[in-house]
Chain A
Amino acid sequence: LAKTTQPISMDSYEGQEVNITCSHNNIATNDYITWYQQFPSQGPRFIIQGYKTKVTNEVASLFIPADRKSSTLSLPRVSLSDTAVYYCLVVPNFNKFYFGSGTKLNVKP
């Protein structure tokens, strides 16, 4: 099972782009990468998922280099409401999720 490593916390200001990088050196060929957001007192919410290169949706972009040993979640122009914990997961195709420690993002005014 691929272990993930993320920064414990990050600070940003409103309107800035935030990039959170996750390391997963022993990712397997069939694993894909998924990111979740969790607000206090709520369940995690799916943000984005990818296997390689770049994926973009209405919320974020996910950049995955060719070796797939890391991935970067990019949040454009964050607002105060983006203050949350962000989890990077490497998921085999048997859909069991093992959460790492996550990155606590604090967006300041």
Chain B
Amino acid sequence: SAVISQKPSRDICQRGTSLTIQCQVDSQVTMMFWYRQQPGQSLTLIATANQGSEATYESGFVIDKFPISRPNLTFSTLTVSNLSPEDSSIYLCSYYRTDTDTQYFGPGTRLTVL
């Protein structure tokens, strides 16, 4: 499977600021996804990052708060805007492989908002 990485691995941010998380896959993939995992909880799908078009957001997530870019088939960014302590979570990206019908996840970015 392709190697998937995220930057930063962790960050501590002040409330009201924004954090942009980068996700890089070492080969071209069609579909990429972003998830949030709140402390002690399961993963929640935020959006599907579509190459060449706007991301598709799940219920409860909006573009103004979680803008996503997908400039090419190997890269995506998630920005968490106007941070509040409630945004403290792990954010994970993943990509979908059509030949195995499954997703492969990055290591996650741990965000703490003070």
Contacts and interface: CB of A to CB of B under 8 A. Distances in A.
**Interface of chain B, helix or strand or loop or mixed?**
strand
Nearest to A85: B42
A13 interface: no
A93 B101 contact: yes
B81 to A, nearest CB: 23
A63 interface: no
A102 B37 CA distance: 13
Interface size class of B (residues with CB under 8 A): 20 to 34
**Interface of chain A, helix or strand or loop or mixed?**
loop
Contacts of B104: 46
Interface stretch (B63-71, B72-80, B106-114): B106-114
A99 B101 contact: no
Interface of B: 31, 33, 35, 42-45, 48, 90, 92, 94, 96, 100-108, 110
A43 B106 contact: yes
Nearest to B9: A41
Contact of B94 (A43, A87, A91, A98): A43
Nearest to B110: A41
A49 B99 CA distance: 13
B45 A100 contact: no
